[in-house]
Structure 1
Amino acid sequence: MRLGGPRQRALLAALAMRANETVSFEHLSEAVWESPPAAPESNIRTYVAALRKLVLDDLVTVPGGYRLNTPVEDVDVLVFEQLCAAGDEALRQGDHRTAVTRYEEALALWRGPALEGLTIGPVLVAELTRLQERRLTVAEQHARLAIELGQGERLIGELRRLTKQFPLREQLWLQLMHALQRAGRPAEALRAFEDVRRLLADELGTDPGSDLRELHARLLRGDEPRPALNTLPRDVADFTGRTAEIERLTRAVTGKSAVVISAIDGMPGVGKTTLAVHLAHRLEYPDGQLFIDLHAHTAGRAPVEPTDALDMLLRALGLEEIPTDPDERASLWRAELSRRRLLVVLDNAVSADQVRPLLPGVPGSLVLVTSRARLVELEGTSTLTLDVLSEAEALELFATIVGDERGTDPAAREVVELCGRLPLAVRLAAGRLRSRPTWTTAHLATRLREGRLSELDAVFALSFGQLPAPHQRLFALLGLHHGTDFDVDQAAALGELEPLECDGMLEDLVDVHLLEPTTLGRYRLHDLLRQYAQSKVDASREPLTRLIDHFLDTANQATQLMSPASRKYEVDITYRPQWRLVLRDYDHAVEWMETERQTLIATVALALNGGWHTQCWQLTRAMTFFLMVRGHTLDWSTVHEYALQAVTDNKPALAITVKNYAMFFWQVGRYQEAIDHNERAIDLLHELGDLQGEAGALNNLSLVYRTLQRHGEAADLLEQAIKVARQLGDRHLESQAMSNVSNSYSALGRYDEALNACNGALALMRELGSRRDEADTQSALGMILFAMGRHEEALEALRSALSAVRAIGDVTTETVVLNYLGEVLTAAGRPGEALVPLREALELAERIDDRREAANAHKHLARAVADPEEAARHRKESEERFAALGRD
C-alpha cells in the first residue's frame, strides 16, 4: 500500500494516535498544518476519502469528526503505551525482571524517529515530543533495572548510540557508565564521564550532575560493584497455589540477622524445585542468585560430591582457579559469600552432609535447599514439608493450564485425583488436554483410568503416546544422556538428526513439559522423566556410540585449536555425522571444553565401563592439553586412571597415555613418579618405532630433570629430541625442545647458546602460530636475560609473556611467569613491586594444586617482604614444601 502526500500521512498519524476515539476537525487541522487554511474541513474530507479508497474501511465518520476503528495491536504507539504501562506496574510490584522484559519489548517498537520526513502541525509536534520523552524515560529506566539484574553488558552498544543521539540526557550517560563499570571496564566508564563533562561545558557551560559526579568519584576510588549473577531456571509462568507455603517461607527468610537456610522436602514430583525457583525469583538479592542440581536421585548418576558442587558454585561466581583440597574450597566459598549477598538454591540434595559444606558462614545470604529427605540435622534450618496440592489448588492449576471451559468441567476433579494431585502429573495431563482441542475432560479421565500403572506413569505414558514417532524416539534416547544437561548438538548425535530439525523437536518436548530448558540452548530431563524415557529405549549401544563420538570429535577439534602446531592425531570414531559441531577458534574451544568438562569426564568413565575402550583413551588424550593449561589437575589424573584401564592390551595407546600422564606427576611435584612414567613411555615408544612420540617424551623428561636441577642430563635429552625432530621435520617439537634447552644452557652458564636457542624457538613458534608455546618461551627469554644481568629487558619479556598467557587463559604458565616476574623485580632492587605478582602466584598455585610453584612463590616472598617475621615464615614454608617435593 502506498499512501498519498505528506498531509494525508499526517492525517492518518493523528487518527492512529487516537485510534478508537473521536478526533475532531479542529484537532486534525492543527495536526496536519502548521498554519491551517481558511476552510480546512474540505481538505480533510478529501484526504479521508482517499484513505478509505486505499484499505482503511474502518475509518468512519462520526458527529464532530472521524474515528479510526482498529485493534490496538495494529498501532505501534498504542502497543508501546500498553507495554510501558505493564512495565510500570511490574516495577511497582517489585517484579524487576518482568519490568525489564516489558520495557524492552516497548523500546523494540522504535525503528527510527516517529513520522520522520513529515511536515506536521503543532498538535502532532506536541504529541511526538511527549512520545520521545516517554521513550527516553523508559530507556533510562530499562537500563537501570537491567544493569541491577546483571544484564548491563549487552546494553553498552545501545547506550552508546543513545548518548550520541541524545547527548544532553545525563541519565543515559549515567547508565552507560554503570554498564561499563559492571562489565569490568572502568577505564571506559571514566572516558565516558570526560566525554559528557566536555560536552556539557561546551554546550551549556555547566558541570555534570551530582549522580554522574558521585559515580565518577567511586570509579576513581576503584569502588566497583560485582555484576549480579543469575543461574536460576526460568520461573513457571502459570505457577498456581502454594500461597500459605510462600508466606511461611518468606517470613522465614526475611528480616533475620543470622545465616538463613530454608529446606523444602517432599515426594517426587510434588513441586519442590518449582516452589524454590518461584520464591527465588520473587526475592531480590543484590549480588545474584545461583542454582545447582545436586542429583540426589538422578538415574545412572551418583550424587554430586560437595567438593564438585563447590567447584561449580565458585566458577559460577567467575573464579577459575579453584583449590583441590575440599576444606580449602569450602573456605574460599565462605570467603566469597562473606563479601556478597547471594541467594543460592541447592536443588535435589541427598543429605545434610552433602549440603553442609555449601552453606555460608556469616549473615547476608540465603540458601534454599530441596530434598526428598527431611534435613532436620542441618543446624539453624527452617524446614517445610511440601504435600500434594489441595483439591482446590490442583483444580486451579489444571484449569489455568488448560485455558478454556474444559478446565472447569466436572470431570476435572477425577483427572486431578487420578494424578494424585501431584503438581507434575497435573501439569502434564492438563498440557495434553490443552494441546488436543477435540478431547473432552471426561475422555482424558478415561484414558488415565484405563491405562495407568501409577498416577505419574499414566500421565507420562499419555504424554509420550501422543508424541509423533520421531519425537518419541528422541525423547527416549535423551534418557541415555549421562550429563547434567545437554545442548542441541548432543541431542542430535543421540538421535542421528540434523541440528536444526532436532532443535525444533526439543522445543516441542519443552512445550509438552517433557523437557526442561536450563539456560539458553541447553536442556535437561526431570529425574522421573529420565527414568521413564530410559524404559522406552529399545537399544542403547548405537545412540551412545554416536554421542561418545560427538564428544571425541569436538574435543579433538578443541585441542587442535588450542595448540594448532602440535602433533595431529586422528580419532577412530564410528559415527561421522553429516552435520557436526564446528568450533570457531581458541576462545570457542576453551568455552566449549569448560562448559562440557564434567560431562566429558563422565563420558570417559562411560566409555571405559561400556567397552568403548578406543574412545576412552582417545578422549582422554584429546582433553589433556586443555586440562593442563586450565589447571584442572584432579580431572587430569581422573581421566588418565580411566584410560590406563582401557589400554592394557593396546601398546601404542598405552605409550601415549603413559606419556601424557607423566606430565601430571611433574605438574603436582611427584617427581619420581614423573620420571618412572616418562621412562616407561620412552621404552614403549622406542619399541614401537614412534620416533616423534619418543622425542616428545624425552622433552617431557627433561622438564623433570631441570626442575631437579640436573641441567646437564636435561640438556643431553633435549639435544637428542632436537636431532630427532629435525630428522622428522617436526618443527613444533623442535621449537619446544629448543625453548627448553635454552633454559638448561642458561642454568649451565652457556648464555650465548641459550639466547640463540631461545630466539630460534621464538621464530619457529611465531611462524607456526603457537600462542601458548610462544608465551612460555618469551618467559624463558626473560629468565635468560635476567641471568645475564639485563634486568629491564628481562622484565619487558616477562610482562609480554604474562599478557599473552592471560589472554589465552593458561593459568598453569601464568603461575610460573608471575613467580619469574617477582624474582626479577626483587633482584632489580624493587621488592615492593615484586609482592603483587608473587602473592598472585602463590594464590594461583595453591588453587590449581601446583605445589612446585607454590614452594617457589614462598621462596621469592621470603626475599621480597620487608617484615623479618613474615620473611621467616615464607622461608620455612618454602623449605618444608621443597623437602616434600624431594628437591632443595
Structure 2
Amino acid sequence: MQHNTSKAQMHSPQASSRLHRLSSVPTRPLPIFDPAIPRQPGSPLIGRANDLELLKQHLWEDGNASLTTLNGLPGIGKTTLAITLAYDEEVLESFADGILWAGLGPSANIPSILSHWGRLLGLSLTEQSADYTSWTRALHAAIGSRRLLIIIDDAWTLEDVLPFKIGGPHCAHLVTTRFPAIAAHFAVNGPLTLPELNKEESMRLLRHLAPTVFRHDSHKESDLVQAVGGLPLALTLMGNYLRKQASHGDTQHIQNAIQSLSNTRQRLELSEAYDANLEPEPGAPKLRSLQSVIAITDRQLSSTARAALCALSILPPKPHSFSEETALTVADCDPATLDVLIDAGLLECSMSERYTLHQTISDYARAHLEESAPYARFIAYILDYVEQHEKDYELLEGESAVILGALDAAYEHQYWAELVKGVCAFAPFLLMRGSYALAHTHLQRAYQAANILQDRDGILNTLLQIGEIAYRLGEYTLAHSTYQQGIELARSWNNRRYLCAHLTGQGWLVWKRSDYSSAESYLREGLTIAQQDNYPEYLIEQLRVLGSIIASGGDYNRSEVYLQEALSLARTQGDREKVSRLYLSIGVTYAEQGQNEKAEHFLNEGLSLARQIVHCELTIIFLLNLGTLAYEQEHYELAETHLQEGLGLAQHFHLREWIGILLINIGEMKIKQGTYTQAEDFLVRGLKVAKEIGSPRIIASAHNLYGELYLHLDQVEQASAAYQHMLTTLPEGDHEMYILGQYGLARVAAARGDITEARRLGDICLASLVMSGHRKEAEVRTWLASLSMPSNPL
C-alpha cells in the first residue's frame, strides 16, 4: 500500500538536509506519514462506506485550503473514520506530501503536538517558540506549497483547534468533535454529522465480532442492537465481550452472557483496554467503556445542566423525540440549559424544534438520576396535555411515544389516579390507530389502579373500553360479559352516564349478533338517559346506532331522521370521528336504497375524513362499502383496489369481523365476474372466520352467496340447501337478509321448473322491497318479468 511506502521513505530532518546539499537540483520534500496516526483498525469498517466516500468528496470539492468538520455522539466512530481516511489510498495519492495528525481531547497538549510537527517538517529547535503565533508561522512557512491533509481529532474547544489551522493553499483540514458548536464554527458549508448504524449494519458488526453467538437467535441480537441505538462503540464492546465468552464453548455460558447485556448498568460498564495508539490521558481510566466515554463530557457540565440531563433521561430515547415545552417542564430548567446540553453533544435538536436523546446517553443519565421529582412533573404535564388535546389527533400522534412513556412511568411509580385519568383519555386514540393490544395493556393497568382507588368512574370507563376492544377483535362473548358487568355496576352505583355508555355498547354488540329485539331495548333505554341527563356524546352514538338498526329493518325514512339529527350534533361538537361514522351510516343507508350517487358522496367524504384522522377501522369499513358499491355497478377494477386494501388493513390489525365480511364480499364480486373457483375459495375462508367469531348475520350472508354460486354452476339442490341453511341461521328480525333468502329460493324454484312457486315467492319479495325502497327492487322486478320468457335467467 502507498502509505507503507511513504513510511519507508521518511527520513530525519538532518538526513534530508544532507541530501539537499549533495544535490545540485532542488528536491521535493519527502512525504510525511505522521507516526502519531493510530494504527489502522484490524476489523473492516462496517456500515461506514458511504460516510467515508462523503468525507472524501468534501475534501476534494471544498477547494484549496478546505476545512471539513466531522461531528457526532461520543462513541459514534469519528476517530475510527478519521484513521481509516488517513490510510485510504485515494487520500494518500491526493495528498502526496503526507498527513499530519493532532489528537487533542479534553486536555490537549498543544506544545507537544506542535513540537512533534516541527520535527516532522524539519524545523530547528531555535525555530520552535513558546509563542503559538510565531510557532505556527514557522510551521506554515515550512509547509509552504506542500499538499498535506491535516487531521485534528477530538477537539473540545475552539481555542485548541486554532493553532493547527496552518498550511498553504494546497492543504486540507479535517476536524472531528463531539461538540456541534465547534463543528458548525469551522465548517463553511456545514458540518458532516456521523449517524448511528442502522439495524442491518449493527447486526453485521455484531456478527463480525462474535460470529458464532447469534447463529440460532437473531431476536436477541436485534434486542441488543436496539438497546444501544446502533452506537458503534457499544456494539464493539458487546461483540468483543460475547466473542470471548463464546470461546468457552458452553451454550449456557453464552446465553447467560447475552442475558447479562440486557442490564443497562452491565452495558454501561462493559470495558476493554484502549488501543496502544489511543492511550487515555494521565489520570483517566485505563479501560474504555460507555460509562467512561460519556463521563468525560458529563464532568464538564455544571450541576444544573447535569441535573437537567438526568431528568430528560426519563423521556423516550431516540428515535423518539420530544418538544421543547416537554423538555423544559420535565427538566425544570430554562432554554439556556438545553443549549448547554446541545453544545455538549449530549442532546440533539432538529429543525422542527424537536429534541432527541440517544439511547446510551439516556441510559447513562438515568443511572445517575437520584430524585423522583422529574417523574411527577412528567406525568402531570402529559396528563394535562392529553386532556386538553383529546380530539386533536394530529397532536396526539406527534406526542404518542412521550404520552405512552408517561403512562408507563405512572404505572411503575404507582401514580394511580394519574394513570387512570391518562389511560382513559388516551385509549380512544389508540383504538383509532388500531393499537388494540397496547390499549388493552394500559386499560388493564388502569382498571387495577381504579379498583385500588375505588374509583367508580375509572372502573366503569376502563370496562367500557375493554369491552370495545373485545368487540372490535371479534371476541363477542368477552365483549358481552364486559359490557354486562359495566351495566350492572353502573345500575348499582346509580351512575347514569356510564350506564348510558354501556347500554350503547351492549346494544350495538347484540345487534351485530342479530339479537334485534334486545338491541333496540338496550339502545332505547340508553337514548332516554342521554336525552334526560343531557349527555350529547352518548346521544350522538345512540341516535347513530338506532338509525342503522332501523335502516336494516327497511324503514329508511325513520332511519334518516335519527342519522341526520346525530350528524347535526356531531358537527356542532366538531367531533371528526363521530362525523365520519355518521357519513358511513348515511352512505350505507343510501346504498341499500340504490341511491348510488348519494351513497358514493357520503362514503368518499367519510373515507377522506377517516384517513385524515388515521382511524384504521373506519378506513377499512369505508373501503369495504365503496368496493361493494363499485362491483355492484360492474366497476371491478376499482372494487378490487378498495376491497384488497381493506382486507390488507383488516388482516394487519387482526379485525376478524371485517376480515370475514371482506372475504365474503370479494367472493360475491368473483361470482359476478364469473370466476367461480376463486369465488368459492373466498367464501370458504370468509365463512370460517364468521363461524370463529360467532356472527349469525355474516354466516347467513356467506350461505346466501353459496346459494348464488351454486345457481350459477347449475347445482340446484346445493343452492336450495344453502338458502335453507341461511334462513335457519338467520335470527328473527333481519328483514333484509330474510328477503334475500326468499329471493334465492324463488330462483331455485324457477330452476326446477316450478314457475308458480317461483312467481309466488318473487311477488312476496318484491312487495317487501317496494315497501322499504330497497336497491334489489329493480333486479327482482326484472327477474319476475323474465319468468314468462323461454329462457329463465337466474
TM-score by length of 2: 0.55
**Could you tell me how far 1:781 is from its partner in structure 2?**
0.9
Alignment of 1:256-275 (within 5 A): none
Matched, 1:370 2:235: yes
What is aligned with 1:797?
602
Deviation string, structure 1 residues 442-491 (Cα, Å, up to 9, x no partner): xxxxxxxxxxxxxx29x72x654553332232233334446555533333
Structure possessing the higher radius of gyration over alpha carbons: 2
Are residues 710 and 465 of structure 1, via their aligned partners in 2, closer, same or farther at CA, if it must alter by over 3 Å?
A: same
Alignment of 1:246-265 (within 5 A): none
Alignment of 1:264-303 (within 5 A): none
**Could you tell me how far 1:91 is from its partner in structure 2?**
13
Aligned mate of 2:302, from 454, 468, 477: 468
SS state of the match for residue 659, structure 1?
helix
Q: Distance in 1 between matches of 2:395 and 2:61?
A: 29
Matched, 1:880 2:701: no
SS state of the match for residue 434, structure 2?
coil
Aligned mate of 2:275, from 390, 393, 398: 390
Q: Distance in 2 between matches of 1:589 and 1:102?
A: 44
What is aligned with 1:555?
386
Q: Does structure 2 conserve the Cα–Cα contact (< 8 Å) formed by 1:675 and 1:701?
A: yes
SS state of the match for residue 600, structure 2?
helix
Aligned length: 493
**Could you tell me how far 1:652 is from its partner in structure 2?**
2.4
SS state of the match for residue 521, structure 2?
helix
**Could you tell me how far 1:766 is from its partner in structure 2?**
1.9
**Percent of residue pairs identical:** 16
What is aligned with 1:637?
440
Aligned mate of 2:328, from 492, 501, 505: 492
Q: Which amino acid aligns with 2:344?
A: V
Q: Does structure 2 conserve the Cα–Cα contact (< 8 Å) formed by 1:290 and 1:345?
A: no
Q: Does structure 1 conserve the Cα–Cα contact (< 8 Å) formed by 2:630 and 2:639?
A: yes
Q: Which amino acid aligns with 1:477?
A: A
Aligned mate of 1:607, from 403, 407, 410: 410
Q: Distance in 2 between matches of 1:621 and 1:885?
A: 27
What is aligned with 2:371?
539
What is aligned with 2:779?
none
Deviation string, structure 1 residues 494-551 (Cα, Å, up to 9, x no partner): 2333xxx2x33123123334445688645555666555544544431x3211111122
Alignment of 1:812-823 (within 5 A): 812-823=617-628
SS state of the match for residue 631, structure 1?
coil
Compare 599-608 and 695-704 and name the one that shifted more.
Answer: 599-608
Are residues 292 and 95 of structure 1, via their aligned partners in 2, closer, same or farther at CA, if it must alter by over 3 Å?
A: closer
Matched, 1:506 2:322: no
SS state of the match for residue 825, structure 1?
helix
What is aligned with 2:14?
none
What is aligned with 1:780?
585
What is aligned with 1:410?
none
Q: Distance in 1 between matches of 2:474 and 2:309?
A: 47
Q: Does structure 1 conserve the Cα–Cα contact (< 8 Å) formed by 2:476 and 2:693?
A: yes
**Could you tell me how far 1:706 is from its partner in structure 2?**
2.3
What is aligned with 2:493?
688
Compare 520-529 and 630-639 and name the one that shifted more.
Answer: 520-529
SS state of the match for residue 418, structure 1?
coil
What is aligned with 2:573?
768
Are residues 93 and 546 of structure 1, via their aligned partners in 2, closer, same or farther at CA, if it must alter by over 3 Å?
A: closer
Q: Distance in 2 between matches of 1:706 and 1:674?
A: 13
Matched, 1:666 2:477: no
Backbone CA RMSD of aligned residues: 4.4
Deviation string, structure 1 residues 618-674 (Cα, Å, up to 9, x no partner): 111121121111111121111112212212232321111111111100111101111
Q: Does structure 1 conserve the Cα–Cα contact (< 8 Å) formed by 2:206 and 2:239?
A: no
Are residues 848 and 102 of structure 1, via their aligned partners in 2, closer, same or farther at CA, if it must alter by over 3 Å?
A: farther
Deviation string, structure 1 residues 61-117 (Cα, Å, up to 9, x no partner): xxxxxxxxxxxxxxxxxxxxxxxxxxxxx99964599699999xxxxxxxxxxxxxx
Q: Distance in 1 between matches of 2:534 and 2:580?
A: 23
Q: Does structure 2 conserve the Cα–Cα contact (< 8 Å) formed by 1:633 and 1:849?
A: no
What is aligned with 1:401?
none
Q: Distance in 1 between matches of 2:548 and 2:471?
A: 17
**Could you tell me how far 1:864 is from its partner in structure 2?**
0.8
Q: Distance in 2 between matches of 1:773 and 1:476?
A: 42
Q: Does structure 1 conserve the Cα–Cα contact (< 8 Å) formed by 2:657 and 2:690?
A: yes
Q: Distance in 1 between matches of 2:235 and 2:574?
A: 50
Matched, 1:617 2:420: yes
- Structure 2, unaligned stretches of length 5 or more? 1-49, 64-70, 90-153, 155-175, 178-193, 224-229, 247-269, 700-794
Q: Which amino acid aligns with 2:624?
A: N
Alignment of 1:417-496 (within 5 A): 418-420=284-286, 422=288, 456=292, 460=295, 463-464=297-298, 466-481=300-315, 483-484=317-318, 486-487=321-322, 488-496=324-332
Alignment of 1:705-720 (within 5 A): 705-720=510-525
- Structure 1, unaligned stretches of length 5 or more? 1-89, 104-231, 251-270, 276-288, 295-341, 360-365, 378-384, 396-412, 426-455, 563-586
Q: Does structure 1 conserve the Cα–Cα contact (< 8 Å) formed by 2:663 and 2:683?
A: yes
Q: Does structure 1 conserve the Cα–Cα contact (< 8 Å) formed by 2:503 and 2:523?
A: yes
SS state of the match for residue 422, structure 1?
strand
Matched, 1:628 2:431: yes
Q: Does structure 2 conserve the Cα–Cα contact (< 8 Å) formed by 1:858 and 1:878?
A: yes
Q: Which amino acid aligns with 1:506?
A: L
What is aligned with 1:240?
79
What is aligned with 1:647?
450
Q: Does structure 2 conserve the Cα–Cα contact (< 8 Å) formed by 1:390 and 1:421?
A: no
What is aligned with 1:568?
none
What is aligned with 2:629?
824
Q: Which amino acid aligns with 1:554?
A: Y
Q: Does structure 2 conserve the Cα–Cα contact (< 8 Å) formed by 1:678 and 1:701?
A: yes
What is aligned with 1:589?
396
SS state of the match for residue 669, structure 1?
coil
Are residues 603 and 238 of structure 1, via their aligned partners in 2, closer, same or farther at CA, if it must alter by over 3 Å?
A: closer
Alignment of 1:405-420 (within 5 A): 414-415=281-282, 418-420=284-286
**Could you tell me how far 1:391 is from its partner in structure 2?**
3.9
**Could you tell me how far 1:854 is from its partner in structure 2?**
1.0
Q: Distance in 2 between matches of 1:716 and 1:809?
A: 33
Q: Distance in 1 between matches of 2:676 and 2:88?
A: 54
Are residues 543 and 101 of structure 1, via their aligned partners in 2, closer, same or farther at CA, if it must alter by over 3 Å?
A: farther
SS state of the match for residue 371, structure 2?
coil
SS state of the match for residue 451, structure 2?
coil
Q: Distance in 2 between matches of 1:97 and 1:712?
A: 76
**Could you tell me how far 1:614 is from its partner in structure 2?**
0.9
Q: Distance in 1 between matches of 2:339 and 2:231?
A: 31
Are residues 356 and 836 of structure 1, via their aligned partners in 2, closer, same or farther at CA, if it must alter by over 3 Å?
A: farther
What is aligned with 1:305?
none
Q: Does structure 1 conserve the Cα–Cα contact (< 8 Å) formed by 2:72 and 2:195?
A: no
Are residues 548 and 243 of structure 1, via their aligned partners in 2, closer, same or farther at CA, if it must alter by over 3 Å?
A: same
Alignment of 1:178-193 (within 5 A): none
Q: Does structure 2 conserve the Cα–Cα contact (< 8 Å) formed by 1:346 and 1:367?
A: no
Q: Which amino acid aligns with 1:505?
A: T
Are residues 96 and 551 of structure 1, via their aligned partners in 2, closer, same or farther at CA, if it must alter by over 3 Å?
A: farther
Q: Distance in 2 between matches of 1:513 and 1:558?
A: 33
Q: Does structure 1 conserve the Cα–Cα contact (< 8 Å) formed by 2:311 and 2:331?
A: yes
Matched, 1:871 2:663: no
Aligned mate of 1:755, from 536, 539, 560: 560
Q: Distance in 2 between matches of 1:590 and 1:419?
A: 44
Q: Distance in 2 between matches of 1:672 and 1:523?
A: 45
Q: Does structure 1 conserve the Cα–Cα contact (< 8 Å) formed by 2:468 and 2:479?
A: yes
Are residues 854 and 92 of structure 1, via their aligned partners in 2, closer, same or farther at CA, if it must alter by over 3 Å?
A: closer
Alignment of 1:560-575 (within 5 A): 560-562=391-393
Q: Distance in 2 between matches of 1:97 and 1:687?
A: 75
**Could you tell me how far 1:874 is from its partner in structure 2?**
0.8
Q: Does structure 2 conserve the Cα–Cα contact (< 8 Å) formed by 1:347 and 1:370?
A: yes
